[in-house]
């Protein structure tokens, strides 16, 4: 006798998953392999998602952490997170063909950093220590030109040499709410501080966080599909918990804990900007094996942004 499945309402966020910068970065690797043949080397994970990285490996991509691991005579791609200026300079010195898959919205932050330093400003950079995007942005300007601000406490305690010649910039994948509080603290302390033109937190990060905020009050639990080293995915899981529902970050459907879902009748689902839609469908299909699932997509924004490919690959 078949066991009757308990009902489970899935509230699926839209937008979710891949953003334009991730789409572009993956396409750059694919086109480089088409144009040059395998192997094509990629410095750092192209995006923070094991499923995506493993898929590109099967097509001929080799992922390394340093340029020293790239042999002479093969093309190399720089990840979507951006790299310090020294990396392309070293590639050029070695005569390597390279393609920069840095998200254009991260490149915009790089340009703003250079401009602020040229104006004689010291930059207070809001971000997470050790994240590749932070390392890449710090590497755009002379050493000592930037100070990392990770928390509101950092913002309260930082003591720059010249409080009247400051700028602030942010990592693109931060919590919108937390970052706003840190910026408010800096602006209160340093009234002359100059901010970026528009927000540095990217549209995709903001949109995915807004979707979670809209759905969380309507559900009892929240699953975020993404990687633990993906900043934007981690922020989504934290945000759902902050909104009052229990939340978990999972990489794949096989990480779902059915005991954790005991008693849950409404479940929110979203995916970080580096998680493909196929993983969302995998999760839904997995849940349907154990529950009587109904799906509702909740749309809070529509995304139409796309980015151009680098010259040399746009015709590949």
Alpha-carbon gap, residue 50 to 185, rounded angstroms: 37
203-215 vs 176-189: helix axis angle to the nearest 10?
120
pLDDT of residue 82: 97
pLDDT of residue 270: 98
pLDDT bucket at 32, cuts 50 / 70 / 90:
very high
In degrees, rounded to 5, the angle at the alpha carbon of residue 187 between the alpha carbons of residues 131 and 129 is 10
pLDDT of residue 1: 53
**Rounded to 5 degrees, what are φ and ψ at 45?**
-55, 130
Query: Is the confidence at residue 271, as pLDDT, over 70?
Result: yes
Alpha-carbon gap, residue 277 to 269, rounded angstroms: 12
> Mean pLDDT, the chain, as a whole number?
96
Fold of 20-100: Rossmann fold (3.40.50)
CA dihedral sign, ordered 88, 150, 250, 244: negative
Q: Could you tell me the residue ranges of all domains in the chain?
A: 6-18+203-299, 20-100, 106-189
Percent of residues, the chain, with pLDDT higher than 70: 98
Alpha-carbon gap, residue 168 to 294, rounded angstroms: 45
- Asked if the bond preceding 15 is cis, omega within 30° of 0, the reply is yes
Same fold, 6-18+203-299 and 106-189: yes
- The class that CATH gives domain 6-18+203-299 is alpha beta
pLDDT of residue 226: 97
pLDDT bucket at 122, cuts 50 / 70 / 90:
very high
Active-site entry in 34, 133, 255, 297: 133
pLDDT of residue 197: 84
For the chain, counts of helices (H) and of strands (E):
10, 12
Alpha-carbon gap, residue 77 to 79, rounded angstroms: 6
**Based on the number of CB atoms within 10 Å of its own CB, is 18 exposed (0-12), middle (13-18) or buried (19 or more)?**
buried
Rounded to an integer, the average pLDDT of 100-114 is 97
- The class that CATH gives domain 106-189 is alpha beta
pLDDT of residue 316: 52
Assigned token pair, 4 = 């009757």
Q: In what order do the strands lie in the sheet with 40-43?
A: 61-64, 40-43, 76-78, 98-100
**Rounded to 5 degrees, what are φ and ψ at 179?**
-65, -40
Q: Strand, helix or coil at 1? A: coil
Alpha-carbon gap, residue 115 to 79, rounded angstroms: 23
Question: Can 133 be counted among the known catalytic residues?
Answer: yes
* pLDDT tens per residue, range 184-216: 999 999 999 999 988 899 999 999 999 999 999
* pLDDT tens per residue, range 214-229: 999 999 999 999 999 9
């Amino acid at each position: 006798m078949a066991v009757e499945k308990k009902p489970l309402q899935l509230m699926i966020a839209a937008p979710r998953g891949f953003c334009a910068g991730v789409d572009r970065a993956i396409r750059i690797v694919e086109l480089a392999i088409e144009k040059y043949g395998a192997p094509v080397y990629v410095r750092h994970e192209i995006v923070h998602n094991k499923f995506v990285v493993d898929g590109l490996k099967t097509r001929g991509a080799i992922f390394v952490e340093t340029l020293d691991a790239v042999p002479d005579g093969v093309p190399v791609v720089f990840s979507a997170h951006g790299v310090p200026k020294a990396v392309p300079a070293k590639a050029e010195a070695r005569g390597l063909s390279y393609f920069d898959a840095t998200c254009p919205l991260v490149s915009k932050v790089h340009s703003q950093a250079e401009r602020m330093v040229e104006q004689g400003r010291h930059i207070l950079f809001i971000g997470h220590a050790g994240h590749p995007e932070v390392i890449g942005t710090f590497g755009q300007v002379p050493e000592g030109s930037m100070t990392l601000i990770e928390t509101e406490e950092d913002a309260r305690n930082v003591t720059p040499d010249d409080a009247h010649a400051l700028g602030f910039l942010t990592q693109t994948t931060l919590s919108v709410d937390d970052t706003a509080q840190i910026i408010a603290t800096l602006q209160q302390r340093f009234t002359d501080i100059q901010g970026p033109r528009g927000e540095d937190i990217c549209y995709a990060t903001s949109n995915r966080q807004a979707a979670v905020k809209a759905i969380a009050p309507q559900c009892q639990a929240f699953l975020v599909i993404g990687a633990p080293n993906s900043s934007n995915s981690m922020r989504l899981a934290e945000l759902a918990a902050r909104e009052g529902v229990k939340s978990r970050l999972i990489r794949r459907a096989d990480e779902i804990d059915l005991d954790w879902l005991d008693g849950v009748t409404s479940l929110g689902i979203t995916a970080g900007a580096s998680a493909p839609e196929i993983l969302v469908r995998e999760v839904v299909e997995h849940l349907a094996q154990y529950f009587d699932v109904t799906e509702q997509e909740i749309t809070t924004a529509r995304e139409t942004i796309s980015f151009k490919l680098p010259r040399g690959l746009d015709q590949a």
